[in-house]
Amino acid sequence: MAYLTKNQRHEEILKLAMQIALDEGLSAITARHIAAKGSFAIGQIHHHFQSISQLKALALHKVSDDLMTQAEQNYINISIPEQLINIISPIEGEMGSMMRKLWSEAVFLAERDNEIKKAYKQSIEEWHQAIVKLINQGKKQNIFNTPIPTETAWELIALSCGFDNIAVIEEFRFEKHIIKNCIYRILQINPPLI
């Protein structure tokens, strides 16, 4: 393995933890597992992170942050209602399945692990802020007439989490147009005519 600076090694360990979180879940992030997969000494992992719990929390937050950044970049050139739909609608396909498993595990671990709880809370708050920002942009353009954007954003998050939780059962995965119509009702706008 090539020599890495302290910051580079920290980033490499974090990237590996993120990949393990996506592939195997947060519980699979252990010092021994990371050391074996990344050819790191266990002591290096403990040197860079206060605890494995902190590393799990950072991995969870970074995965969430990367997903939000990617969504914002991918959808910047579409209408504000469509941007909202894309950051609220449950993710589909293999990535959706991975993220559902990761978030379900994060909810479970957050009740037992304060570091995970903080990361989970921070990720939800950042998601909320992104939604509020889009709602406010829509209000400025007279697209939305929602009275309290912060409350509307929480309603949309609750809707998304609800659909996401029941999507674990494939028969309960709703067509995207049903989810869109629910979002339009919360935003108090008419769905576009097709």
Structural domain boundaries of the chain? Answer: 57-187
What pLDDT does residue 98 have? 79
Q: How many CB atoms lie within 10 A of CB 166?
A: 13
Task: Please give the average per-residue pLDDT across 45-60, as a whole number.
Answer: 94
Tell me the pLDDT band of 69, cut-offs 50, 70 and 90.
confident
The residue type at 57: A
Structure token pair of residue 167: 């999507």
Sign of CA dihedral 182, 185, 186, 191: positive
Q: Picking from 54-58, 75-79, 190-194, which range would have the lowest pLDDT averaged per residue?
A: 190-194
Structure token pair of residue 89: 């609608």
Closest by CA to 60, choosing from 94, 37, 28, 90, is 28
The answer for residues whose C-beta is within 8 angstroms of residue 31's C-beta and 6 or more apart is 42, 45, 46, 52
Q: Does position 90 have pLDDT exceeding 70, yes or no?
A: no
Percent of the chain past pLDDT 70, that is, above it, reads: 95
Q: Does position 25 have pLDDT exceeding 70, yes or no?
A: yes
What pLDDT does residue 113 have? 95
Structure token pair of residue 156: 């949309």
Q: Does position 140 have pLDDT exceeding 80, yes or no?
A: yes
Give the integer Cα–Cα distance in Å for 61 and 116. Answer: 9
CATH 3.40.50.300 for the 57-187 domain, yes or no: no
CA 62 to chain centre: 9
Q: Does position 194 have pLDDT exceeding 60, yes or no?
A: no
Give the integer Cα–Cα distance in Å for 171 and 148. Answer: 34
Tell me the pLDDT band of 12, cut-offs 50, 70 and 90.
very high
Average pLDDT, the chain: 88
Q: Mind listing the pLDDT tens digit for each residue in 105-127? A: 999 999 999 999 999 999 999 99
Structure token pair of residue 71: 């969504």
